[in-house]
A and B are shown apart, each in its own frame.
Chain A
């Protein structure tokens, strides 16, 4: 009873700011922008934007995987440090998050532009400037930079909790260090990998600012299109329909990822 009462604020919060807005999104997605009548037209027009949806999903998938490749060794390294160093490194990882996301992205623009810091340096040593900005790669870079902490932190938490005795046992039973990693540490950090991938993928797929600043006219992401529907085109209905479809696609992607996780866990159990 008591615990129910304590959770009341959160439940009220959920209803006010998640459930009701979701209903409003549904309502807008299913009504016409001019007449306000019930219609499926917004949803049926989604086919036109299929390439944009796919591009958003692929770019953020790549970004999530790159985050994993970069983030895992970092998280592993931090987890091996002394507690004091750990806290310090953790703070360093969090530090960029204290600054506005927009500012961090703009800083990348200032570095990567043709007249930016990097290219000015390249020019000053007599080489020709590199096309660093306005490509899919630059957008992925922006995503990786902005969302990397969301990958490192859950990984670090999970790796830190791995029972050191399991590693010792594996070594005692004749595992090479490589085997210890692939047969013990990696499977046990599975949940961290999954939550890291989800935490990076979900915000990346719906992001809107990064592609406008770092991308070209050909790298528009679905988040940008949704933003424009609300900000300038005054067509919240189409915007709501896009958000709805995006939400469903994210659910599908995340549940597929979780399925991978399940099979991993079963295998671990089977082996144990």
Chain B
């Protein structure tokens, strides 16, 4: 009897675990899905933004992070968890809008939107500005260790192909950012959908592979800070965080051009607490909060009003706020078509997988298969002979 109860119990546990957890979520809770290291979290005397928000509004925040737009998109697509606020980049927002995955924001609930500068409203990715509120903007550049890499070499993206630094170079582990670097070098637009141009970019990326240490994202912080790697492309704001740990690091805007982006807050379809989400967005737009966040993460603010509250040093940094001459070399990402995205993904996969020592592995495998077959044939023959001998002996004794 006891065992039967146990089995029933197990079954119930099984079934309960199958129920969607969201139905148990308290009303006053929101789930925020943001980039890693992308909010002021209270370390180094900064403001703990999430705690502050919870104290002010009584809304509990579940905070989760992603490391690339693509992994965020996949997570949204596969479902399972519902998010209330997400902070993707421009091209990804355009993609989400075109796939009808975003909820329009009720701007009456986000009065602090007034602080967002005109220049950052109505962007190409969200022309009527219905779905997104800019959080930060920034650029991609080359971060390098001045002890090992010369300033001259670091002026160009070709630094990341330089065999002088073999084994000490890192590269983006997401196709869009990685292709953009190759496309700058080839003089293509970042938004090209031309199959041949994409192929050429992939070929260029493949030639880089032998000198690379790894394809990484957030690990770039650790590797550059400790000198395990000497040069890597990454986001300008993160450079400011890294240079605090390792003063030998320097930043350059490569001469071939670089990516400029806006990361904006959106509410995905299927959110559980839209008002809570809007309250959170509104809170992050408050100039003092925005200032605290951007001081901490080092990215550039879309709110002039926030600069009042920020460190002089950060505001005057040419890395966070490059001059117009430099910005003229920048280009932003637009949404790529389904086919171009697919092509890029396929090419990226082949860049990452090719170059295996095919002939060696094939030869080894064929040899092994031959050996296995030979083993079985021989052992079968041996057993047969042994049996025959035993039979003969048995007959002789008869």
Contacts and interface: CB of A to CB of B under 8 A. Distances in A.
B356 interface: yes
Interface string A222-249: 0001001111111110000000000000
Query: Main SS of chain A's interface residues?
Result: helix
Contacts of B356: 51-52, 54-55, 218, 220
Interface string B332-359: 0000001000100100111011111110
Interface string B192-220: 00000000000000000110111100000
A102 interface: no
- Considering residues A34, A52, A232, which has the most beta carbons from chain B within 10 angstroms of its beta carbon? A232
A57 B212 CA distance: 24
A225 B349 contact: yes
A217 B172 CA distance: 12
Interface of A: 5-6, 8-9, 12-13, 16, 33-34, 48-52, 54-55, 57-58, 113-115, 134, 212, 216-218, 220, 225, 228-236, 256, 259-260, 263, 266, 270
A232 B174 contact: yes
Contact of A55 (B70, B73, B361): B361
B214 A266 contact: no
Contacts, number: 108
A217 B7 contact: no
Contacts of B209: 217-218
Query: Main SS of chain B's interface residues?
Result: helix
A115 B74 contact: no
Contacts of A235: 345
Contacts of B345: 233-235
B370 interface: no
Contacts of A233: 70, 74, 175, 345, 348-349
29 contacts: A6-B3, A9-B11, A12-B11, A12-B14, A13-B14, A34-B342, A48-B350, A50-B362, A51-B361, A52-B353, A54-B356, A54-B362, A54-B365, A134-B214, A212-B214, A216-B212, A216-B213, A217-B213, A217-B214, A225-B349, A225-B353, A228-B352, A232-B175, A233-B349, A234-B77, A236-B78, A263-B379, A266-B383, A270-B386
Contacts of A236: 78
Contact of B215 (A50, A113, A217, A266): A217
A89 B302 CA distance: 60
Contacts of B386: 270
B364 A58 contact: yes
A51 B209 CA distance: 17
Nearest to B74: A234
For chain B, give the interface size range: 35 or more
A52 B7 CA distance: 43
A231 B74 CA distance: 6
Q: 6 closest Cβ contacts across the A-B interface? A: A51-B356, A54-B361, A232-B70, A9-B10, A51-B358, A234-B74
Interface string B1-33: 001100100110010001000000000000000
Contacts of A113: 228
Nearest to A136: B357
A89 B398 CA distance: 56
A49 B10 CA distance: 41
B70 A256 contact: no
B68 A232 contact: yes
B376 interface: yes
A9 B353 contact: no
Contacts of A225: 349, 352-353
B226 interface: yes
B388 interface: no
Contacts of B376: 259, 263
B365 A115 contact: no
A10 B386 CA distance: 46
A128 to B, nearest CB: 14
B353 A16 contact: no
A115 B227 contact: yes
B372 interface: yes
